[in-house]
Amino acid sequence: MLESKQKNREVLLVCVEPGFGGQRIDNFLLRILKGVPRSYVYRILRRGEVRVNKGRKKVGYRLQEGDIVRIPPVRVAEEEVMPSVGKRQLEQLEQSIIYEDERLLVLSKPSGMAVHGGSGLSFGVIEAFRQLRPDQRQLELVHRLDRDTSGCLLISKKRSALRVLHELMRSNAIDKRYLALVSGKWHGDKADIDVPLLKNTLRGGERVVMVDPRGKQAQTRFRVRERFHRCTLLEARLMTGRTHQIRVHAAHLGTPILGDRKYGDQDANKAMHNQGLKRLFLHAESICFRWPDEKQDQVFQAPLETSLVNLLSSMKR
C-alpha cells in the first residue's frame, strides 16, 4: 500500500497495491488506522467520509488494484501505531510454527494469547508476526481462535491464498476439529447439536453468547474420545463458525468445558484447578482442507501442551 506523506491527522490518500485487491474496505482501513477504535472506522464509512476513486462505498465493498482510497483526518495515538511485541513472545511464536510454505503459515497458538490486538490489548498473534516478518506485507488471519483456546491457527501470506481459504470456509470445505474436556459423564458416544446462538447479550453486565431462537444457526458435532471418573474428553467438529460456539453448545448439553470461567461450572473448575488445570481445556487439534486443483488434502495437527497431557495421564492413573 502506497501512502501519501501526510500525517494521520490530515487527509490520507492510499493506492491499493497489487496483491491487496479483493480485500473488504473495512478490513483495509482497520489495518491502516492502527489504534483507531473499530466503531469509529465504521462510523466514517457509513457517513461517506471515506471515498474510493472520489465516490462513496459501502462497508462490504471489495477494493480493486489501483483504487485510490481517501481517508479523512483521524487522530491516532502515536504509541498505538506500531505496537512493540516483547522478545519472549516473539520467540514463543516462532517456536509455535508447525508448517510454512509460500502461501500459508500454520502455528499452534498458545493459550492466553489473543489472535489480534484490541479491547485493551496492544497486540496479538497477527501483529507479532507482522513485526517478525516486516517484508511480508500481506500477512492476514484466515480465521480466529478465542484468546484462551490453543491449537491450529492459519495465517495467509498472500491475498490470493486468503481469498481461496475464505471461499473454502464459506463452502464448509475446511474441517476443523477440537479437543474439549467437559464436566460430567456422557452416556452416548456422539451428539449433533444444531441450536442457534445470539451474540453479545448481557448477563449481569457481561457480554456473552447465548442459545436463543433469534440467533444465527450453529452446528457442532461432538464425539466421545475418552471417559474419566467425573469428566469426558470430547472431539468437537465445527460445522459453522460462531463466536464461542463449542463452549456454549457444551454448556447447553449440561457438560460445560472445564476451565471455562464464562460458561462453565465454578465448582467443577475449582476441583480441576486443584488437579493442575490452569486454563480452558479447549484445543484446536487439527485442520484439513484441499487447495483447488490439487489432489491431496492439507492436514495439520497441533499437539496438546504438556500440562494438558500430564493432566489426562494423571486422571487415567
Q: CA 107, CA 155: separation in Å to the nearest integer? A: 8
Handedness of CA 290, 26, 54, 46 (dihedral sign): positive
The answer to whether 92 touches 110, Cβ cutoff 8 Å, is yes
Q: CA 266, CA 163: separation in Å to the nearest integer? A: 41
Catalytic residues: 146
Nearest alpha-carbon partner for 32 in 65, 71, 67, 60: 71
Residue spans of alpha helices (H) in 155-260: 159-170, 245-252
Q: Which amino acid is at 79?
A: E
Q: CA 21, CA 138: separation in Å to the nearest integer? A: 11
Q: CA 236, CA 190: separation in Å to the nearest integer? A: 10
Q: CA 81, CA 235: separation in Å to the nearest integer? A: 40
Helices first, then strands: H and E counts in the chain:
9, 17
Please report the DSSP string for 88-100 in residue order.
HHHHHHHHTEEEE
- Per the listing, cell 481517501 goes with 70
* Dihedral Cα 188, 189, 194, 199, nearest 10 deg: 100
User: What DSSP element (H or E) covers 68?
Assistant: strand 68-71
Nearest alpha-carbon partner for 278 in 116, 163, 110: 110
